[in-house]
Structure 1
């Protein structure tokens, strides 16, 4: 398979992952599926890890990867003037942008999972909004979750969505890392070495 075709496959894979991350980040603004006050939303949600990191920043490398296949294949092998090698080299830079964006989302998600959600707990006769969990202690002890009275189901909501962001971010990092290797091979060996047998594209 030509490195340009392989890059296109990676680009196609990155787009739905980016969309999922954006949707997860948006849903996190509605803890437990309900509307709360701005200051009652967990702090890490406002870092926009899924929207900016794994979302917007991931669109750029995805579009670049998709566009690599649009270049003329035949006659490009060993011919740097056609720009194919430069295109593969530039894809490495955009892949690095994707790694940075996804890495940011992974870090934000990991911190949010470790710290737990902000929620309403009963303090005497009133409900106080705070972060009742520390250092991920609630992850292995689900009996602590009922301490969050409001919103209902906020702990599982928080944990599920940030876990999805974490996993999606790791997958995006892996795909971008693969493109770095693919881009290097395309830059060094040419994008379509099997297309050089003739001007009609035969091998």
Structure 2
């Protein structure tokens, strides 16, 4: 498979992942699926925009660059017909690094949020974080500490776990493209300038 075609496949995969991460982060602004009475009732990590910025908007740039690599026809520069494709593949390494940073940021925020647990109205009658040491993950009877919003713990866990998993997939895909881009930079696109167009 040509390095450009491989990059296009990665770009096609990254776009729906970025959209899903964006949606997950937006849903986290509605704790338990309901509108928060006060912004202070929303978990702090939601405001760090890991899914909106890191795995969402920032991931669109690498995805679009990867999509365009297959059709890059900058051939014949500098007396070498493949130098344009080599430069494009080199550029994709930089955008892959941006993707790794963005998705890595989202993963860190998600992991911290999962460990810390959600902010909720607890049995003591205060809005706080009752699960600060992460022990609620293996003991779901502790979830009863959160009185409201209703269903906040599974809501929090599900959405942040999805963000973490999708972020890890994005890191892997961007890391793979960095390797693919390095090979394309050194060896050129195996299809060459006269290769068949899909």
Distance in 2 separating the partners of 1:89 and 1:195 = 16
Q: 1:9 — aligned with what?
A: 9
Shift of 1:71: 1.5
**Aligned equivalents of 1:80 and 1:114: distance in 2?**
53
Match of 2:55 in 1: 54
Q: CA deviation at 1:75?
A: 7.3
Distance 1:80 1:103, change over 3 A: farther
Contact 2:73 2:84 in 1 (8 A): no
Cα distance between partner residues in 1 of 2:146 and 2:8: 45
Is 1:176 the counterpart of 2:174? The answer is yes
Q: Mind listing any 5+ residue stretches in structure 2 that lack a counterpart?
A: none
Q: How many residues align?
A: 194
After TM superposition, where is structure 1 displaced by more than 3 Å over at least 4 residues in a row? 73-76
- Give the deviation of 1:20 after TM superposition: 0.4
Shift of 1:70: 1.2
Do the aligned partners of 2:75 and 2:81 also contact (CA within 8 Å) in 1? no
Q: Whole-Å Cα distance in 2 between the matches of residues 114 and 52 of structure 1?
A: 21
The answer to whether the 8 Å contact 2:119/2:129 transfers is yes
Confirm or deny: 8 A CA contact 1:80 1:86 kept in the other structure: no
3-state SS of paired residue (2:136): coil
Q: Deviations over 1:64-123 (max 9, x none)?
A: 0001111239879x9267511100000000000000000000000000000000000122
> Paired residue for 1:69?
70
8 A Cα contact 1:75 1:195, kept in partner = no
* Contact kept in structure 2, 1:116 and 1:155, CA below 8 Å: yes
**Post-superposition CA distance 1:134-156 (Å, at most 9, x none):** 22110000000011000000000
The one-character-per-residue Cα deviations of 1:27-77 (angstroms, maximum 9, x if unpaired) are 00001001111010000000000000000110000000001111239879x
- Partner Cα distance (1:178, 1:200) in 2: 23
**SS of match in other structure, 1:35:** coil
The structure with more radius of gyration: 1
Report the equivalent of 1:40. Answer: 41
Post-superposition shift, 1:194?
3.9
Please name the residue that 2:88 is paired with. Answer: 87
2:122 matched residue in structure 1:
121
- What's the TM-score, normalizing by structure 1? 0.90
For residues 126 and 182 of structure 2, what CA distance do their matches in structure 1 show?
A: 55
Question: What RMSD, in angstroms, separates the aligned Cα atoms of the two structures?
Answer: 1.9
SS of the counterpart of 1:52?
A: helix
TM-score by length of 2: 0.92
1:113, 1:3 → 2: CA distance?
Answer: 37
Question: Matched residue of 2:29: which SS?
Answer: coil
